[in-house]
Amino acid sequence: MPRFLTAGESHGKCLITIIEGFPAGLRLDLQFINQELKRRQQGYGRGERMKIEHDEVEVLSGVRLGRTTGAPITFLIENKDFPSWEEIMSLEERKVEPVIVPRPGHADLGGYLKYGLEDLRDVIERASARETAARVAVGAVAKLLLREFNIDIFSFTIAIGKTRVKWEGDWESIKEKAELSPLRCPEVSGEEKMKEEIDEAREKGDSLGGIFQVVAIGVPPGLGSYVQWDRRLDARLAYAIMSIPAVKGVEIGEGFTSASLPGSAVQDEILYDRKEGFFRLTNRAGGIEGGVSNGEAIIIRGAVKPVPTLSKPLRSVHLRTKQSLPAHKERADVCVVPSAGVIAEAMTAWVIASAFLEKFGVDSLEDIKESYTTYLERLKRM
């Protein structure tokens, strides 16, 4: 089964990821991957760092003559500001003072206690959301695979701070609008309000969270399974989405809303059309019933808490003296919701691609295409 590991510190030399178990024969469009990295870095409300660095992958393995070979794929993403951090990040002796006042809302204190560290820097560097750049590169490869099967994954922002938007139109137009919006928001007037909220928060030295929605179009029925808890597609998606830094909630389909509705208003009646096969008029389930994809769009929402690093730091404790002090300050954004959406696309793409490969084979893109076609034909006969 496909697996990947990421490595790298926020201000170390680079981020790295190894992707193992992806099929041979996939055209690896580097421009697309770098474009995905760029999408992660954009967004109204992002801090200065995003302007310094334009992430790009260097391919270290697994690709030859434009295509994957079946061997592990390695991407390296340079940290362009490493030179100014080299002393702090020294491989050898200590040259600078340790960070000693943990930031509330981060892994700082928990990580320090868990690993028995002497310097919060060691937590800060790895617990940083910068790690997600590597995940976006992984997700980009997953997206490239899924595209071969007409599966498309995109995201948009539906809330920032107190502003929540409604949207209209088909998925294609929503996706387009989101891509054009600096907040990835498909609704113009809402977006204006969001910007105002962000500006206000920035002035106050505060930060804002929000909600993103990820949509996966073209997913066939039959991914995931109900036979064992850890194989449910909804569970695997929740795992992946909740693993994104700052995400504190995940919903599939109607999610929390469905909890307050009667059963008759929550399920999606089943219809049949000779051309379309089985279909639904509604999609409250968000494309997954009983842990299995049902052929409708898969819909996931994630709640992003406000970035915990504030320019007006919160109260914390000096780890040696135990004195109450303002928390350590690290360069930070005011609002990262649009980026979180892009990362969530990547994680969604990974989960769906994994389930897809488990079902249709993992070795050769050509063989997988044959298996997939055969499967779709069988579905038509059922």
Site for a copy of itself in 321-380 (CB under 8 A): 322, 324, 327, 347, 358-367, 370-371, 374-375, 378-379
Interface residue with a copy of itself among 50, 73, 153, 352 (CB under 8 A) is: 73
- Residue 61 within binding range of a copy of itself, rule CB under 8 A: yes
The contacts of residue 129 (CB under 8 Å, 6+ apart) are 245, 246, 336, 339
CB 172 to a copy of itself: min, Å? 25
Site string for a copy of itself, 139-178 (x = CB under 8 A): --------------------x-xx-x--------------
Residue 89: CB atoms within 10 Å = 17
Q: Which region, judged by CB under 8 A, interacts with a copy of itself, from 47-55, 117-125, 146-154, 176-184?
A: 117-125
Instruction: Please report the sign of the dihedral spanned by the C-alpha atoms of residue 27, residue 28, residue 31, residue 36.
Output: positive
Q: What angle is formed at CA 217 by the lines to CA 163 and CA 145, rounded to 5 degrees?
A: 120
What would the x/- binding string for a copy of itself be over residues 173 to 192, using CB under 8 A? --------------------
Contact call for residues 235 and 353 (beta carbons, < 8 A): no
Backbone angles phi, psi at 105, to 5 degrees: 90, -10
Residue closer to a copy of itself (CB basis): 105 or 176? 105
3-class SS at 335? strand
Which parts of 295-324 interact with a copy of itself (CB under 8 A)? 295, 303-308, 310, 312, 314-317, 319, 322, 324
Please name the helix (run of DSSP H) or strand (run of DSSP E) that holds residue 349, with its range, or none.
helix 337-360
Using CB under 8 A, pick the residue from 46, 135, 175, 184 that binds a copy of itself. Answer: 135
Using the minimum distance from each CB to a copy of itself, give the nearer residue, 25 or 182: 25
Residue 186 is encoded by which pair of tokens? 């498909």
CB of 134 closer than 8 Å to CB of 77: yes
Q: Which of 31, 116, 168, 276 binds a copy of itself (CB under 8 A)?
A: 116
Q: CB of residue 118 vs a copy of itself: minimum separation in angstroms?
A: 9
The interface region with a copy of itself, picked from 140-148, 166-174, 175-183, 223-231 by CB under 8 A, is 223-231
Cα separation, 74 vs 209, whole angstroms: 32
Q: Which is nearer to a copy of itself, 176 or 358 (CB)?
A: 358
Least separation in angstroms between CB 169 and a copy of itself: 24
Half-sphere exposure of 344 (CA within 13 A, CB side): 34
Answer yes or no: are the C-beta atoms of 103 and 330 closer than 8 Å: yes
- For 324, residues 6+ apart whose C-beta sits below 8 A from its C-beta are 315, 316, 317, 318
Would you count residue 114 as binding a copy of itself (CB under 8 A)? Answer: yes
235 is a contact residue toward a copy of itself (CB under 8 A): yes
Q: Output 173 or 282, the one with its CB closest to a copy of itself.
A: 282
Q: Tokens 């990580």 appear where?
A: 111
